[in-house]
Amino acid sequence: MKIGYQPIGVVHSPFTEIEGMPIQPSRAKGVSGTAEVFPQYVEGLADLEGFSHIILLCHLHRSRGFRLKVVPFLDTELWGLFATRAPNRPNPIGLSVVCLVDIEQNRLSVKDIDILDGTPVLDIKPYVPEFNERTEATLGWLGSARKRKALSGERFK
């Protein structure tokens, strides 16, 4: 089974290289960028401006292959790939919750963006705490092993 998607837009951000990127929006506080939505989809952006946060699903186009055990950015040990947010995955879909600042026509100004410049956008969803938050969540390896490096290394180049 082969699933085919087409980008609905593209991310513009200050990050042109993987090295030195923030690894998650929560580590990219205040970084501004733009999600440009292709003109044929603009009508679908109506009513989005009322949301303070949106979810960007992106195709991590610089991802190359994957290993099932990886050393994630936040650690120095090997872990199962699906227990990490490492970008090199069988289907390299990135999930970022970003702050929505403004919408002008087909351009969404966002903050706290952790996405590489030129990354294709697959979907935009409103962020709804009821649908996404699990405050009782426990953290697995991240809970005990997190070392809180705020920048990515070169491991995923």
Give me the residues that bind a copy of itself (CB under 8 A), please: 1-8, 24-26, 37, 41, 43-53, 55, 57, 59, 68-69, 79-85, 89-91, 93, 95, 97, 99, 120, 122-143
CA distance to 9, 63, 79, 108, per residue, from 132 (Å): 23, 26, 24, 21
Which amino acid makes up residue 61?
H
Q: How far is the CB of 18 from a copy of itself (least distance, A)?
A: 18
Please state the closest distance from residue 147 (CB atom) to a copy of itself, in A.
Answer: 14
Please tell me the distance from the alpha carbon of residue 57 to that of residue 9, in angstroms, as a whole number. 11
Minimum CB distance to a copy of itself, residue 102 (Å): 14
Closest CA to 44 of 9, 13, 96, 10: 9
Q: Are 156 and 84 in contact (CB under 8 A)?
A: no
Tell me the β-bridge partners of 9.
37, 121
Our CB check for a copy of itself shows the closer of 13 and 121 to be 121
Contact call for residues 66 and 84 (beta carbons, < 8 A): no
CB of 20 to a copy of itself, least distance (A): 19
Query: Whose Cβ is closer to a copy of itself: residue 82's or residue 157's?
Result: 82
